[in-house]
């Protein structure tokens, strides 16, 4: 069957809207910074762009943990797990080993959505299964498509990927913990 001119125009319009909407999923609405030390020496700053229109609840949690406005958060916490050619994991500011942390909503909160897929430099929520987000997060150092649909991507590294690579290349023990402590010495909102 042939499509009328109006029908072809309508289909084209839907295709354009779909493409534009896909690009908007990664629109950075806020930025936060992590000042990093490695082995007690200042290493530099990582700036993270957050997708507040796509995952507002997840972004709100991350921003407020970055500012520490609830009396707890990322400042002073460590990257407790680093796996070369995979990711850096942090955000456990209660136990410092991947077993703790908490969100601004309580210990855990639900997966908001899985609209954004994992890519090099993606910022994603670490979890212990479905709907178990807290404060732990990871930064992808490679594309990780096997994590799509399982972890909520809510931002990206916008500056400081060289610091991410420096952390990634550091020596770790058999449990993937960096031999030299990788600490978030300060964190907050980029104004």
d(CA 61, CA 113): 15
The gap from C-alpha 15 to its chain's centroid, in whole angstroms, comes to 29
- Give the chain's length: 191
Ramachandran area for residue 140 (φ above 0: left; ψ -120 to 50: alpha; else beta): beta
d(CA 38, CA 166): 9
Q: Which residues are catalytic?
A: 81, 86, 89, 127, 138, 147, 151
Task: State the DSSP string of 46-102.
Answer: EEEEE-TTTSHHHHHHHHHHHHTTTS-SSTT-BEEEEETTTEEEE--TTTSSSS---
């Amino acid at each position: 069957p042939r499509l009328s001119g109006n029908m072809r125009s309508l289909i084209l319009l839907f295709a354009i809207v779909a493409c534009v909407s896909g690009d908007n999923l990664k629109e950075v609405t806020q930025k936060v910074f992590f000042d990093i030390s490695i082995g007690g020496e200042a290493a530099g700053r990582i700036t993270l762009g957050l997708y507040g229109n796509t995952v507002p609840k997840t972004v709100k949690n991350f921003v407020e943990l970055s500012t520490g406005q609830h009396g707890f958060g990322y400042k002073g916490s460590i990257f407790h797990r680093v796996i070369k050619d995979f990711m850096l994991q942090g955000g456990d500011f209660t136990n410092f080993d991947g077993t703790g942390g908490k969100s601004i909503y309580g210990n855990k909160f639900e997966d908001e959505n899985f609209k954004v897929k994992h890519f090099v430099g993606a910022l994603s929520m670490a979890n212990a299964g479905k709907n178990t987000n807290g404060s732990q997060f990871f930064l992808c150092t490679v594309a990780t498509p096997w994590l799509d649909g399982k972890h909520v991507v809510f931002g990206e590294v916008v500056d400081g990927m060289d610091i991410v690579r420096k952390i990634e290349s550091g020596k770790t023990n058999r449990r993937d913990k960096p031999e030299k402590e990788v600490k978030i010495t300060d964190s907050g909102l980029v104004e």
